[in-house]
Amino acid sequence: MSDATIRRCPQCRRETDWEENPWKPFCSERCKMIDLGRWASEDYRVPMTETPDDVATDFDREVNSDEQPSI
């Protein structure tokens, strides 16, 4: 393994070869499945910014629009 292709597994932090690894960025199928399970059980979450209730977003304007799109 050359130093350029060695990466750390984001799950267990073990060093793994990047080029020949079918489970990249993980070191093994086990680490890949552990990570997938954590997403599925909502242990990981993508942060969202909350908008105040009185602020209309672009989505709100589009959904509540009375205008019909021109064809």
The whole-model pTM stands at 0.57
Number of domains present in the structure of the chain: 1
pLDDT, tens only, 12-62: 999 999 888 999 999 999 999 999 999 999 888 877 776 666 666 676 677
Which pLDDT score, from 0 to 100, does residue 48 have?
Answer: 74
In a domain? residue 16: yes
Return the residue matching tokens 């050359």.
Answer: 2
Q: What is the pLDDT of residue 56?
A: 65
Give me the CATH number covering residue 31.
Answer: 3.30.50.10
Looking at the domain assignment, is residue 34 inside a domain?
A: yes
Return the pLDDT at 2: 52
Among 20, 23, 18, smallest CA distance to 7 is for 18
1, part of any domain = yes
Does residue 36 belong to any structural domain of this protein? yes
Burial class (CB in 10 A: 0-12, 13-18, 19+), 16: buried
